[in-house]
Amino acid sequence: MAWYNDANKFYKDLKIMKKILSIVGARPQFIKSAPLSKEIRKHFTEILVHTGQHYDQNMSPIFFEELSIAEPDYNLEIGSGGHGEQTGKMLIELEKVLIKEKPHMVLVYGDTNSTAAGALAAAKLHIPVAHVEAGLRSYNRTMPEEINRVLADHLSELLICPTETAVRNLKKEGITKGVYNAGDVMYDALIVNRKVAENKSKILETMNLRPKTYLFATIHRAENTDDKGNLKNIIEAFRQSKEIIVFPAHPRTQKMLKEYNLKLSSNLKIIEPVGYLDSLQLQTNSKKVLTDSGGVQKEAYILKVPCITLREETEWVETVDDGWNVLVGADKKKILRAIADLNPEDKQHTYFGTGNSASRITKILVDYFKVMSLSNHE
């Protein structure tokens, strides 16, 4: 047992002995993996698998470049498709990789189809799963993201939560073992990259924008893009606001705008999806953010930019509780009222940690394997 008292030797041998296979596939997962992957690789062998769920240049490769993420060991190139088709293809291909690599743990992030497929494929092969960003709940089962996150949580050995609210959500479902509040790893990424964005991003100059003269918008969730009435109401509210609105449009959103033949006004500046650094710079310098993205809500809060959420509910209830986020759905009147009147002055809290979540998560992983190794040697 004395061998394990030498922490440095234990960490060194752990890197040789233990293999963690990390699965990413979409923009928020690239951002979360950037700081955590760097920490994991100090103590483990990491195999990085990109499912290819996001594959457009502005939705995938640019994030690996800007965030200095290691090249994926596998790119499954799954691409788009219906939920069943996309998830099914991922399961087939991920199972092949897992059987070949034989990792000691599979790490999944967030709430995408890549998350659900990764957790399910690993669980079927009896490989422990660690879920980063566990415990989030909107309590809206019509959202595919809610199904994905609930499935991943109930299959996971380690449930790594970003907030105390997430810990409480899991307790309500009877999940208390292997649950940790490690803070939000996206906060780590934002702290590191906010200054980088300020120095490197040229998006304001390119678009001839002055700080605090425009709003920043993102729309990508099916409840808005696939419902003509909802998308029409949102776009009409944008028009009636008469504010300059910078709108990096997701490929599916662009497709539906054309399909519905919605009238677009000159104050709405629709551009192609942007990389992480440009997105941070646009958010930081906007007057307000309008979004249906969970990650953007949180980024806006941390950047101290008022957020108008184009949904009826949110997983990030802390941002609403503090008065920096308001839920308006696709209600045109509510959107316009929030654009005019939302000016929070409330003090913010450290709900999402202090920017050291990646190291805390890595310690949780190290401690888990240390306990497993000790148990096997008893």
Longest dimension (CA), the chain: 72
Which candidate in 220, 250, 349, 377 is catalytic?
220
Q: Cα(135)–Cα(153) distance, rounded to whole angstroms?
A: 7
Long-range contacts of the stretch 79-84 (C-beta < 8 A, 24+): 79/52, 79/53, 79/55, 80/55, 83/113, 83/144
In the 8-state DSSP scheme, what is residue 69? P
Q: What b/e sequence results for 257-288 when a residue is b if at least 16 CB atoms lie within 10 Å of its CB, and e otherwise?
A: beeeeeeeeeebbeeebbbbbbbbbbbbbbbb
Q: Catalytic annotation on 126?
A: no
CA 1 from chain centre, in angstroms, equals 40
Q: How many CB atoms lie within 10 A of CB 158?
A: 21
In the beta sheet, which residues pair with residue 45?
Answer: 19
Report residue 219 as tokens. 């729309």
In the 8-state DSSP scheme, what is residue 347? P
> Which positions are catalytic?
220
